[in-house]
Chains A and B, each alone.
Chain A
C-alpha cells in the first residue's frame, strides 16, 4: 500500500492571470477575486494525480478536507483519508503548516503539494527536510526548484519514487521574494530554507563509460579541495548553501545552512553572522570568502546571502573570494553567466569578469560573472 500526502493551496496562482504578483495577504486576494481570478489549483492538481492512477488500487492519499485536497482526490477516484483539525473552507497558511505536520506524522512516503513559493515556505516551516516533497506548480512566482516542471511531471516523479525506480533525494532551496518590492519591480530574494525532493538521474545507461558520480560525492570532493588548501592564518567565511555546508560537514563542524558562518584554524569562530559581525571579524589581509550560487538563476551575490553586503565584499577583496559549485549547477545555468546584485552598482561592475570556480577536487572551471 502506497501512502502519500496531498496539500492543495486553493488560492495560489490567482494573482498571475489578472496581473497581480502573488496572493499574499487578504487584500490582494480580494482584489484578485474581484478581477475575476479563478483558482488554477484544482485543475493542476488533478493533472498531477493522473499519472498515479496506474497504482490507484494500491494508493491511499492522506489529505485535507474540501478545497485543500479532498475535492481533487475524490474527483480522481482515489482512496482518501481526511485528516482532522483543518477547516474545509477559507483556509490560511497556518492550516497549510498544521496539515503538513499532521500528514508527516501519519507516516507517508511522500508529500505532494500544489501552490507557489509561499506554499513551499509554509511546508518548509512545518516539516523542513524530514519528509520528501514534490511541488505541483500552480502559483505565480515559481522560483524554487522544489516544483516539478509541470503538474503531470510532478505526478510522474511521484510515481517513480513510490515504485522505487528512483530513490535519490536532494535538497533544494526555498526562496522568499519580498512581495511588496517585487510588485514594484525590485527583486529582493532571501534564502528561506531547504526542502528535500526526489530527483530523476538522467542518462542512467552507461554507454561507453559507465556513470558519473552524484552531486553529494562531488560536493565532498570540492570540500576536500578547499580544506586541503586552508591556511591556518586565514579566516574563512562560509556562505549559505548545501555545497558550502559540505565543507563544514567534512571538518566535523556545526553550521547554519541558511546563514553565514566563519571558520578559523578549522574551528568555528561564528555562526549565522550578520553584516556588522562580519565586518568586525574580517582581517583585511587574511580573510577568504567561500560562496556558492543560490537560487537557480546563478546569483553569487544578492540572492540569499545579503549579509555579504558591499562593505563586507569590499573588505574581503575580490581576489579572496572563492566560488564553489558542482558541475551540475554550472550546467543548469545553460550557458548564462553567474550574476551579481550586491546593491552597489560600482561593486557589481568590479566583480564582472572571469572567475575560476572549484568544481571538483583539483579541478577548476572558468566561468563568466556578469552584473
Chain B
C-alpha cells in the first residue's frame, strides 16, 4: 500500500477506523463481501479512466472558473435574443429564497415536515391562477414544450379524439418535442398563418378542423412576436367542431395582455422562465398547465396538483389533490408520466409574482411594449431595413427583415458581436419565407441607450 487512504470531505465514513468498526459490527471482513451478489465477471477490476480529481475545494473552484471564464455573458454584452428564453430582471429576493437550503435540498416529504414546500407550491399556483384567471394550475413540468405536449394529449383524453392542430407560428423546437410526444397515437396537423400579419389563418383552420380534432394549439404572443387578435373567432370555430382551444403564453405578458380564458381558451400553458428565473443557458425553463376547475379537466393532469385543506387545529394544511380518470377513450388512455421536474422554479415564479405585485406586472408589460415599439421605430429608420415585417401588434419580440442589406443574418450578427451586441435570432432556416430575417427581443432590461447603441451598430453594418 503506497500513500495514506484519502478521507473525503463529503464522505464521513471514508475514515478507515470507522470503516473497521462498522465492518466489525456487520461481521464482514471487507466491503467487497457485501456486494458478493454482483457476479465476478461484471466487476470492474480496473480503476475507471477519469481525469485526475481536484481534491481541494480551492483547486476545484479554479478549474471550474477557468472553464467558465471562456464564456461571454449577456451582462458583459447587450443581448437582443429571445426565442423561448428571455432576459428579464431577477429580483434579489427571488434568488435569496430559492437559495435557502431548506427549499434547495428538500424533496419528497409529507405535508407535515415539508409543510412550507407545499404552501409555497400552493401559493405559486394561486398567483399564476390570478395572472391566468384560471382556478387550476399544475406544479411545474420540465418546460413549455412538455406543457404544450401534455396539454395536447389532455385534449385527446378529454374529447376522446386523436387528432390535433398546431399553429405554424409556434417555436419550431417546440414542434419537434410535440411531434415526438404525439407519436404514434396522436396525429398532428399544421395550421397556416397569414404571412402578412403572422396571425392564425382562419380559413385554413376552417378547412382543417373536423369532428376528429381534439384540440387546436396556438401561442400568443407567437414565436414571431405577434399578438393574436382573432381569439374570439378562433374560439368559435374550434368549439363548434367540439374541440378544445389550447393557448401557450409568456406569463410576463399577462400584466397587459388579457388571459386567454377570456377569449375562450380551455387549456393554457407556457413557461415560467420569464418570471424570476435566470436564463441558465436554456436550463432555467419550467412549464405550467392551467384549466378551469372542472372534474373532466382536473382528472386528466398527469402532474401534481396541490390542494388546501383544514387541519385539526384550524391551520392551513396541504396535500395532493387526488384525481381519477373518468374517461377512457380509444388509444389515448395513458395518463402520461410524472416525476421530478422543476418544482424550485415554481417557487421562484411565486416569489417573483409576489415581489412584482399587481402594479409591477402591469408596469412591466407596458414598459416592455413601449421599449419594443421604440426599437422597431428606430431600427425602421435605417435605410434598407424592413420592420416590423408582420403587420400586427407585438409584445417583446419582432421580426426584422435585412434582405436589402445584401448580408446574411449570420454575417450581420458576427459584426454586431464584435461590438459587444448579440443580434436577434437568425430565422432564415426555420422560416425560409422571410429569408434573411432575424427575431429581435426587447425587454425591461434594455434602456434607451442600449437600444440606441443597437441602432447605431446596425447602421454601420450597411
Listed in ascending order, the chain A residues whose CB lies under 8 Å from chain B are 204-211, 213-214, 217, 220-221, 224, 361-362
Cβ–Cβ contact B334 & A210, under 8 A: no
Return the chain A residue nearest B325 by Cβ. Answer: A217
In the bound assembly, the distance between CA atoms of A224 and B334 in angstroms comes to 12
Interfacial chain A residues near B325, Cβ < 8 Å: 213, 217, 220-221
Q: Which residues of B contact A209 (CB under 8 A)?
A: 304, 338-339
Determine if B322 and A211 form an interchain contact, defined as CB atoms under 8 angstroms apart: yes
Whether A361 pairs with B320 at a CB distance below 8 angstroms is no
Question: Does B8 sit within 8 A of A, measured CB to CB?
Answer: no
Q: Which residues from B are CB-within-8-Å of A210?
A: 303-305, 320, 322-323, 338
Contacts of B340 on A, CB cut-off 8 Å? 208
Contacts of A205 in B (CB 8 A): 110-111, 319-320
What distance in Å separates the Cβ of B318 from its nearest Cβ neighbour in chain A?
Answer: 10
Contacts of B331-385 to chain A: CB distance below 8 A: 333-334, 338-340
**Contact A224 to B320, CB < 8 A, known contacts A207-B108, A208-B108, A209-B339:** no
Cα–Cα distance between A214 and B340 once the two chains are bound (Å):
23
How far is it, in angstroms, between the C-alpha of A209 and the C-alpha of B340 when the chains are bound? 9
* Complex contact A214–B324 (CB within 8 A): yes
User: Dominant SS at the B interface?
Assistant: loop
Give Cα A224 to B333, complex, Å. 10
Partner of B319, one of A206, A208, A220: A206
The verdict on B328 contacting chain A, using a C-beta distance below 8 Å, is: yes
24 A-B residue pairs with CB within 8 Å = A204-B319, A205-B110, A205-B111, A205-B319, A205-B320, A207-B108, A207-B110, A208-B107, A208-B108, A209-B338, A209-B339, A210-B303, A210-B304, A210-B305, A213-B324, A214-B324, A217-B324, A221-B325, A221-B328, A221-B333, A361-B328, A361-B334, A362-B333, A362-B334
Nearest Cβ in chain B — how far from A164, in angstroms?
Answer: 13
Instruction: Known A-B contacts: A207-B108, A209-B338, A221-B325. Give 9 more (CB < 8 A).
Output: A205-B319, A207-B110, A210-B322, A211-B322, A214-B324, A220-B325, A220-B328, A221-B328, A361-B328
Closest CB of chain B to A363's CB: distance in Å? Answer: 10
Question: In B293-310, which residues have CB < 8 Å from any A CB?
Answer: 303-305
Please report the C-alpha to C-alpha distance between residue A98 and residue B333 in the assembled complex, in whole angstroms.
46
Bound-state CA distance A60–B305 (Å) is 39
How distant is B388 from chain A, measured CB to nearest CB, in Å?
A: 45
Closest residue of B by beta carbon distance from A205: B110
Q: Report the separation of the CA atoms of residues A224 and B325 in the bound assembly, to the nearest whole angstrom.
A: 13
* Given A205-B319, A206-B319, A210-B322, CB of A224 within 8 Å of CB of B111: no
- Whole-angstrom CA separation of A325 from B164 in the bound complex: 34
Are A224 and B322 closer than 8 Å at their CB atoms?
A: no
Which 5 pairs of residues, A with B, have the shortest CB-CB distance?
A: A206-B320, A208-B108, A211-B322, A224-B328, A210-B320
Please, which residues of chain A bring their CB within 8 A of the CB of B320?
205-206, 210-211
- On chain A, the residues within 8 Å of B322 by CB distance are 204, 206, 210-211
State in angstroms the CA–CA spacing of A217 and B300 once bound together: 13
Complex CA gap A213/B322 in Å reads 9
CA distance A220 to B328 in the complex (A): 8
In the complex the two chains form, what is the Cα distance from A360 to B272 in whole Å? 35
> Can you name the residue of chain A whose Cβ is closest to the Cβ of B320?
A206
Q: How far is the CA of A207 from the CA of B319 in the complex (A)?
A: 9
CB-defined contacts of B305 to chain A, threshold 8 Å? 210
* A contact residues around B304 at 8 Å (CB): 206, 209-210
Q: Please measure, in the bound complex, the distance between the C-alpha atom of A213 and the C-alpha atom of B328, giving whole angstroms.
A: 13
CB distance from B18 to the nearest CB of A (A): 32
A131 to B107, CA, bound (A): 43
**Min CB gap B136→A, angstroms:** 14
Question: Given B107, B303, B319, B333, which contacts A361 in the complex, CB threshold below 8 Å?
Answer: B333
Chain A residues closer than 8 Å to B107, beta-carbon distance: 208
Chain B residues closer than 8 Å to A361, beta-carbon distance: 328, 333-334
- In the bound complex, residues from chain B placing their C-beta under 8 Å from that of A220 are 325, 328
Beta-carbon contacts under 8 Å, B84-122 to A:
107-108, 110-111
In the assembled complex, which residues on chain B have CB atoms less than 8 Å from the CB atom of A217? 324-325
Closest Cβ–Cβ distance, residue A251 to chain B (whole Å): 13
A339–B392 alpha-carbon span in the complex (Å)? 71
Q: Contacts of B303 on A, CB cut-off 8 Å?
A: 210
B429 to chain A, nearest CB (A): 39
In the assembled complex, the Cα of A209 lies from the Cα of B107 at a distance in Å of 11
CB nearest to B335 among chain A residues: A213
Measured CA separation A204–B108 after assembly (Å): 14
Identify which of A204, A209, A217, A362 gathers the most chain B CB atoms within 10 Å of its CB: A209
List, in ascending order, chain B residues with CB within 8 A of A213's CB: 324-325
CA–CA, A118 and B325, complex, Å = 37
Most buried by B among A206, A208, A209: A206
Which residues of chain A have C-beta atoms less than 8 A from B110's C-beta? 205, 207
How far, in angstroms, from A209 to B338 measured CA to CA in the complex?
Answer: 6
- How far, in Å, is B58 (CB) from chain A's closest CB? 37
Residues in A whose Cβ lies below 8 Å from that of B328: 220-221, 224, 361
Q: How far is the CA of A324 from the CA of B320 in the complex (A)?
A: 30
CA distance A32 to B111 in the complex (A): 54
Q: How far is the CA of A362 from the CA of B328 in the complex (A)?
A: 12
Q: In the complex, A209→B339 CA distance in Å?
A: 6
Shortest B327–chain A CB gap in Å is 9
Q: How far is the CB of B227 from chain A (nearest CB, A)?
A: 36
Nearest B-chain residue to A227, judged by Cβ? B328
Shortest Cβ distance from residue A55 to the other chain B in the assembled complex, whole angstroms: 16
Q: How far is the CA of A208 from the CA of B304 in the complex (A)?
A: 9
Neighbouring B residues of A224 by C-beta, 8 Å: 328, 333
Could you say which residues of chain A place their CB within 8 Å of the CB of B324?
213-214, 217
A70 to B304, CA, bound (A): 49
Rounded to whole angstroms, the CA-CA distance of A208 and B108 in the bound complex is 5
Chain B proximity of A148: nearest CB distance (Å): 24
